[in-house]
Structure formats: structure tokens, C-alpha cells
Amino acid sequence: MINDIYDVIVVGAGHAGSEAAAAAANLGSKTLLITMNMQTIGQMSCNPAMGGIAKGQIVREIDAMGGYSGIVSDKSAIQFKMLNLSKGPAMWSPRTQNDRMLFAEEWRVALEQTPNLDFFQDMVKSLIIENDTVVGVVTSLGLQIKAKSVVLTNGTFLNGLIHVGDKQLGGGRMGEPRAFGITEQLVSLGFEAGRMKTGTPPRVDGRTLDYSKMEEQKGDENPQRFSFLDTPKMTKQMSCHIVYTNETVHDILREGFDRSPMFNGTIQSTGPRYCPSIEDKINRFAERERHQLFVEPEGWRTVEMYINGFSSSLPEEVQLTAMRHIPGFENAKVFRPGYAIEYDYFPPTQLQHTLETKLIHNLYFAGQINGTTGYEEAAGQGLMAGINAHNKVHGKEAFTLNRDEAYIGVLIDDLITKGTEEPYRMFTSRAEYRLLLRQDNADIRLTEKSYQLGLASGERLEKVHQKINESEKLEAFLKNTSLKPGLINPILAEIDSSPVDQAFKTATILTRPNMTLEKLEQIDIIKDFTVDFAPEVKEQAEINIKYKGYIEKERENVAKLHKLETIKIPDDFNYSDLKSLSTEARQKMTKIRPKTIAQAGRISGVSPSDVNILLIYLK
């Protein structure tokens, strides 16, 4: 039926698979996207939202490189918020609430319009391996489809097991079958596999809720966008609501603990530390009298509501009884109960930085199969796997991002170097150079790199150059324009800042705490010059001026790191010969095979003295 030999086959059409397929195909590879259900391409399996702390930076990085997640998010957004604005710009993180059905629809439209991309609905049950190289896949229909590379993005479907109370159902998502065969084959080939757990909350009928008992959460007055392209601006938004659990809710939930698969030993695998179930929260934090919940709409044309913070695998009747004691939920009707799901993953230390496996050539893993959690983390990996699968089969150099270049680089380096035994989630705290990795400059950091690859368009690159030129022009104006005390002091008084008795450069005044360019635009000479600059240009110039010293310090630290990154460790280096290394360091480095001294130093269990021993030996 399918006699073509593909450059890249992508297995799974979630966030990782969709980005992988789009990247490979847009680069020119003949690509096949295989999914178990064509109706669930780009499905938001859990919360109807994109971005958030550190995750929003990843979405902007994907967009800057020519991926689709930002565009799809913008087109399906029902609310936009820039989080952490009360903190420094390194912490600012964009987030959209999305129409779940429209999000999936926009993903499918985008993929169907992508050249070089074919689709097929079936389940892949095994890989075709020849001479330690993947050369195709075998489907449940018995088809053998040949390929030069394969990207596995199986999500939670590998031997997925769903738990609702004492009920267990095989599936990758509720109502959808699980995938089997791949794990067993890979283990037989020498791969190490493990189990992880995640969960999802109940969905309720929004018509049965009393929002007057909740706190309304509106979107930003001037909503921004994820994409650096001119995606449609939001003209209307939907509100979310905040509500809290109480002791009565907790008592009802505790009564169901004996039937909870989390507490009766049924679930043995590790769940996400930073997104625990409601029963886990009240068990671990027994002293807390209440827990915050977010009531999030699922879309423009549905009454379904997502109860963020109430993930549960307790029996459905316990979930409903407890929920009806939450203010505003007294008459709540449940559309779908919450559930937990266990699934297979492969410890990511078995991968190279390109996301190609070390054991099998031309085989790539991306997404939850690598132990991560979150749409954004999956999409970032998918993009990189798609790029590298294309590059490998076309004889091009591998493409990787360093920790100082992108959150995607931090994510992959953490996975490859440190591994993970629990679902990995990105945070700003994981990035040493987060002031360099801001959401506002993702295009400046990455678009040129992607353009050189052939992925980012000329239109994107032109926009970046224009943004850089205009921000430099604005910075020069602010640095060279002096303001007299009579103009400055009234504005300084507004922010309780000490007055001046002589003229100062505008840039100097801008560095004062709580001073902003927007406040200085009250002065005509400033406003007249800045009026035609786009908001993102003003933001870029302001950050560069206000945080110049901190940015330069981080760049100095990056330069020091790069010296260690240039000291390569041979692939066949025999660590067992270095008896002066600690036993743990020898074992860890033999397993992970770090490429550089810098990477070796990031491995858990490798001490500074171990690094110095390596340095001396390699010199």
C-alpha cells in the first residue's frame, strides 16, 4: 500500500510529533506522520493552555525557529496573560488559555498545508532494524513502511494504563487504545525502560457553576502574542476563575484514600512533582486548610470547564461528592472524571544531544518518551528531533543548542546529562543564564540560526533585523538625550525617587528602580521620538538599558563556560583507566559519555576534583 521510502517517519501526532513532522518536512525531507487517530492530531490531552513560567519562553523559541506552536496558540487563544510582570524580565512568561478544539483544528490545517508531508492512520507496533540502524516501521495492519530515520513521539500511549479508583483501563488517553510492542522490542535491543505517571482533573458543565462565589481572572488589557509573525490580535477574551478547596472537601477526599491507586500500592510509578494530584496535595500538606483551583474554559463554543489543580485518580463518586463542597460547585455536573495514567518511558541518558539514540542509528525520541511533562517541553524536543533527523539523512551537521542559547538547550542538556526519574518540567530556575534567555529576545537569539538551517523564513529574518536596528536606534536616542530637572522631577516624584538638580541622560534616569520608558513618555521630547516604535522594540531597548550590567556579567560567565565546552572528550575515552576518579564519576561518565569537560561537570555525582583530574589528563 505504501511503497515509498521516506526520509523521516514520525510516530505520534501530539505536540512533539507535530513539530517534528513539520520541521523535517519544511526542511525538505519526505516525511510521513503516523497517528492512531487522525482526529486527535495536536490534541491538548490535559489543560487547555500553552506557555506559562519558562514554558512560554520555549513556545517563543519554537516560533523564532519556524515551528508552529506559537502560531497555533495565537490563532486558538481565548485569553492571554504575561506572567511574573512584578519580577525582572528574565521571569516574564507568556501564557494563553486556548480553545481546545480550535487548537487541534489549527494544528491539522497547518500540517496539511506543509509540503513534503504525508499522513497515515495506524498503530506502529515495531521498528525494522538492520545493522543497528532503523530502516522503517511495522504497523498493526502488517504494513512495512521503509524510512531513513524514525522519530518516536508516543506520549503516554506506550503500554498506557488508566486508573479511576479501583478501575483500570488500558489506554493512552481515556477512550483511546494504548500502543504496545515498541517498548518490548527496544528493551530486547538493550534499552532501559521505566514507568511514569501523570494525571488529569475532572471536566465539568460550566452551566452548573455559580461564578459569583469565585474570583474572576481576566486576561491582560493589551494582550500580546506568542508568534513573532503578524498573527491575528485578540479582540475579545474569556475569563478564568479562582476558587479554593476547604476542610470539608479534604475530609471527603481522605475517606476515599483506601480506594486510591496512589495510596493502596496499585500505582508504583513516579508522578509529576510540580503538578501533584489533589489527594497527593492534601496528604503531603496536611496542615494546609485550602488549595487554590483555577476554573478554565475549554473554548468559545463549549460549556466544558477544566478544573486546574484538582487532578485525581480517586473513584468518580468521591471526586464529585468532594467537588460539590467547593464554593460555586454545589450543583456541579461532571462531564468526565479525573484519572491517572501510567506509561513507559526511556531514561534520556540513552540519547545524544541531537535526541538520536546511542544504541540505534537514525532513531530519535522526543516528548514524554524521554521522561518530560508538558506540551511545550514536548514540542521543543520534537522540533529538534525533526531538524536532526532531516540533517542526518541528508548528510548535514548535527544541530544543537547550548544552555546559554535557549531554554530548549537547557532542557535537552538536562535530560541527556542528568537524566530524570520523575516527569521533568522546565522552570526558569533550571537556566543559569535566564537573563539572556528572555521571552522577548527569542527571535534575536535563534531566528538567524534557524534561517541558516533552511527552516526559518526570510520574512522572519527580515523582521529580526528590523527589530535589532530599531531597538539600537532607540537605545542611542535614550543614551544621548538629556532631560532637565524640571522635566524629570515630577515623574520621579510619582515613583518616590529622589529628585535631581541637574540634567541627566534619559538612559541614566531609566535605570532607576520602578522607572519605565512608558512613564518617561509623559515628556514630549521622548514621546515624539518613540511614538512610531513597536511595543516589542521599546521593550527590547528598555531591557538592554536597565539591565546592561547584569547582561554583561552573564555574558562573561558564558565566555568562561565556553572554554570548558571547547575541551572535547574522545567518544572512546576509557574512564576506568583513570583510577584517581571517584568510582561514581567513572560509572556515571561511562554511562552518559559526555562530549565535553563542561558537560561532564554537570553530571550528578561528578565532583569539581573529578573534573580537574580529567582536565589534567586531557591536556
* Numbered residues of the known binding site: 12-17, 271-285
Residue 204 neighbours by CB distance under 10 Å:
23
**Helices marked H in 162-220 — which ranges?**
182-188
Task: Find where cell 491538548 sits.
Answer: 44
* Per-residue burial over 99-108, b = 16 or more CB atoms within 10 Å of its CB, e = otherwise: bbbbbbbbbb
Give the angle subtended at the CA of 85 by the CAs of 373 and 225, to the nearest 5°. Answer: 65
d(CA 391, CA 364): 12
Which residues are documented as binding site for NAD(+)?
Answer: 271-285
**Is residue 356 within 8 Å of residue 142, measured between CB atoms?**
no
d(CA 389, CA 22): 12
* Per-residue burial over 329-346, b = 16 or more CB atoms within 10 Å of its CB, e = otherwise: beebebeebbbbbbbbbb
Span between the terminal Cα atoms of the chain, in Å: 57
C-alpha cell belonging to residue 385? 528531533
Q: Which is nearest to 203 in space by CA: 68, 310, 51?
A: 310
**Is residue 118 within 8 Å of residue 173, measured between CB atoms?**
no
Which residues are documented as binding site for FAD?
Answer: 12-17
**Is residue 186 within 8 Å of residue 152, measured between CB atoms?**
no
d(CA 55, CA 61): 10
d(CA 172, CA 367): 14
d(CA 234, CA 468): 26
Residue 137 neighbours by CB distance under 10 Å:
24
d(CA 80, CA 232): 13
d(CA 396, CA 171): 39
**Rounded to an integer, what is the distance from CA 166 to the centroid of its chain?**
32
**Is residue 54 within 8 Å of residue 438, measured between CB atoms?**
no
d(CA 530, CA 524): 10
Give the angle subtended at the CA of 496 by the CAs of 491 and 502, to the nearest 5°. Answer: 55
Sequence-ordered list of residues with C-beta below 8 angstroms from that of 184, at least 6 positions apart, any chain: none
Which stretch of DSSP H or E encloses residue 298?
none
Residue 311, amino acid? S
**Rounded to an integer, what is the distance from CA 518 to the centroid of its chain?**
31
